[in-house]
Amino acid sequence: KQEVTQIPAALSVPEGENLVLNCSFTDSAIYNLQWFRQDPGKGLTSLLLIQSSQREQTSGRLNASLDKSSGRSTLYIAASQPGDSATYLCAVANQAGTALIFGKGTTLSVSS
Amino acid sequence: GAGVSQSPSNKVTEKGKDVELRCDPISGHTALYWYRQSLGQGLEFLIYFQGNSAPDKSGLPSDRFSAERTGGSVSTLTIQRTQQEDSAVYLCASSLGGLPGELFFGEGSRLTVL
* pLDDT tens column, B4-40: 999 999 999 999 999 999 999 999 999 999 999 998 7
Distance CA B50, CA B82 (A): 27
Helix (H) or strand (E) holding B21: strand B19-24
Q: Is the C-alpha dihedral spanning A101, B1, B57, B36 positive or negative?
A: positive
- By C-alpha distance, the chain B residue nearest A40 is B107
From chain A residues 9-28, the ones with a CB under 8 A of any chain B CB are none
pLDDT confidence tier of residue B1, bands split at 50, 70 and 90: low
Closest listed residue to residue B91, CA positions, set B38, B54, B12: B38
Residue B81 has pLDDT above 80, yes or no: yes
* pLDDT tens column, A6-54: 999 999 999 999 999 999 999 888 888 999 999 988 899 999 999 888 9
Set of chain A residues whose Cβ sits within 8 Å of the Cβ of B56: 96, 98-99
* pLDDT tens column, B52-78: 999 999 999 999 999 999 998 999 999
In chain B, what is the straight-line distance between the N-terminal and C-terminal CA atoms, in Å?
33
Set of chain B residues whose Cβ sits within 8 Å of the Cβ of A106: none
**CB–CB of A91/A101 below 8 Å?**
yes
Residue B16 has what DSSP assignment? T
Q: Residue A101 is which amino acid?
A: I
| Peptide bond between residue B100 and the one before it cis (omega within 30 degrees of 0) | yes
Neighbours of B57 (CB within 10 A): 16
Set of chain A residues whose Cβ sits within 8 Å of the Cβ of B43: 44, 89, 91, 102
* pLDDT tens column, A48-106: 999 888 999 999 999 999 999 999 999 999 999 999 999 999 999 877 788 899 999 99
